Amino acid sequence: MLLESERTKIEKDKEEIGKIKAQLDESGKGAEKVNEYLKIFFEKDNIKIEPTEDKKFKLVRGTEIAKNLSEGEKTAISFAYFAAKLEEQNNNIADTIVYIDDPVSSLDSNHLFNIYSFIRDIFYEYKNKKHICKCKQLFISTHNIEFYNLFCDWSEKQGYLIKRIKKSHCDESILTKSEDVIEKYKSEYVYLFSLINKFNNDPEPKDTFEHLYYLPNVLRRFVETYLSFKYLSRKSIEENIHDLISNRVDCERARKFMHYHSHSLTINNLIGFPDLAESTDVVNIIIKAVKKDDSTHYNSLVKAVNNITREKNNENHS
């Protein structure tokens, strides 16, 4: 009886040892997969995880325990672990619904393109000139407009906005179709130019408050952006607009128009809005100045806006 009891105990111990070995093997394989993904993110073996004897993991940078991780590094490590877990236990990704929430940290966008490329590589395959999702469904949410635009540039799927609705007792969120401004224009700069260009080309510009009220601010923001990248200027628009408009009279006219109507300096500013004739003249001055200063850039802006308009017209007729 004693011998039989010892044999039973030995068998149970062997079974337990086998389970532990299997778990360690599984942990080792999981760590290898996570490290494979981390190498894709960081393009080197600088940061990796190593399994410990108590079936846990430690994170190392080189040969030392990793400390002081950036927000981007934390996000990348979490994402690599998440992707590795999806492949555990022979999980069939084609039958899996995946939701990725904000993979790019707003505090560290250095890894934006790495994460974007990683998602494309892991969750998509290219067949018959199309990017086909490997998952049953894939949902990606982000606060990062650059990241959003990267996907919109090649994905045929519809983008949506999560809109927060405030109520008296509680808040709720709804899904709405993404705005054309975000879907089509990609950047505020191109959108601002489209508004200015449309006003300039309109044979009968609208003299309503709705159209004239926003115009000075639109012009100001467009000109500030143009001057900042064209002349690498950090000065205010009042100090460097002469770089764009060489005619001193036109320059002062445009400067005063944008400055006066974009700031509530007097009571007249608060109760009135720009005159149509003055607005038309200033828009024309700025459009001509940009065209003269950099015709290649101006033509590119016009082409971009025309392409967007053509796409919208085709969608409306389809």
pLDDT tens track for 55-95: 678 888 888 888 888 877 888 888 888 888 887 767 788 89
Residues 243 and 145 in one domain: no
201: pLDDT strictly greater than 50: yes
Residues 162 and 30 in one domain: yes
Average pLDDT, stretch 198-208?
Answer: 73
Residue 1 domain flag = no
Residue (of 281, 200, 293) closest to 245 by Cα position: 293
End-to-end CA distance of the chain: 85
Residue (of 34, 42, 31, 48) closest to 83 by Cα position: 34
State the pLDDT at residue 5: 62
39: pLDDT strictly greater than 50: yes
Residue 203 domain flag = yes
Residues 47, 61: contact at Cβ < 8 Å?
yes
Average pLDDT, the chain: 78
Residue 197 domain flag = yes
Burial class (CB in 10 A: 0-12, 13-18, 19+), 7: exposed
Average pLDDT, stretch 6-11?
Answer: 61
Average pLDDT, stretch 162-170?
Answer: 64
Question: What's the gap between Cα 101 and its chain centre?
Answer: 13
Give the pLDDT confidence of 23-33 residue by residue, as tens digits.
545 555 678 88
Residues 174 and 207 in one domain: no
Residues 20 and 116 in one domain: yes
Domain assignment of residue 200, given as a range = 185-317
- pTM score: 0.62
Q: Given pLDDT bands bounded at 50, 70 and 90, which one contains residue 267?
A: very low
Per-residue tokens: 292: 């003269």
Residues 94 and 136 in one domain: yes
Tally of domains within the chain = 2
Residues 172 and 191 in one domain: no
**The amino acid at 291:** K
